[in-house]
Copies of this chain bind each other. A is one copy, B any other.
Amino acid sequence: MTQQPMSDERRPANDGRKAAARNRAALVAAAREIYAECGLEAPLSAIARRAGVGQGVLYRHFPDRAAVATAILDENVRQVEQAAAARDADMAQVLGVLTWHLTESAAFIGILHADGAAGRSGVPSYASALSERVERALRRLLPDGHRLASVNDDLMIAVAMVSGAVTGHTREEREHRARAAWRLLGVEVGPVRSYDG
């Protein structure tokens, strides 16, 4: 309220380059938490606040809401891709990783409904891009005789179905329901876990 220039009153540090990367990471982590708590509709300001940065910083790193979501989801998709790219990868294992992300991240669920739905109202455009990356990763591993190989759509429809089984449920229920879903589909799934190399 006074006119003092607030000389050095604990003014937030400005560490230059280093800070930028740190802030980006903080934002991504914060977004993950906030999304988990409030869903994809959470106010961006909440993310900035949780990350401990100003809202301007958020906009510096991410031009819009979609960019934030993509940044979060990209990590999930990448793990699926990496699992699929591993030398000894097989379908069941990769579906295990996929399922792990499905149960872990409520935000991730949404994009798996999106295959072939680019530009559809309600389906953010980034979702189909991510969905396609998942599809490419999986299709490469689809053995000819696989339950989901006979009809072209089946693979991603099945994935969407499992997503549907977990939508709207808590983390705890999601794993159970996802397993049940794969079982009903008659598809074998490997251990449900994150992929880290």
Contacts and interface: CB of A to CB of B under 8 A. Distances in A.
Contacts of A37: 121
Contacts of A170: 120
A69 to B, nearest CB: 13
Interface stretch (A38-46, A88-96, A189-197): A38-46
A7 interface: no
Interface stretch (A72-80, A135-143, A149-157): A149-157
Given A117-B169, A165-B164, A181-B161, A1 B41 contact: yes
Q: Taking the full assembly, how many copies of this chain does it contain?
A: 4
A84 B123 CA distance: 33
Q: Size band of the A side of the interface?
A: 35 or more
A160 B153 contact: no
B121 A184 contact: no
Contacts of A24: 1
A168 interface: yes
A168 B1 contact: no
A167 B113 contact: yes
Contacts of A158: 184
Closest 7 CB pairs of A and B: A164-B164, A161-B161, A123-B168, A113-B167, A113-B168, A117-B168, A161-B165
Interface of A: 1-2, 21, 24, 37-39, 41-43, 46, 106, 113-114, 116-117, 120-123, 148, 151, 153-154, 157-158, 160-165, 167-170, 173, 177, 180-181, 184-186
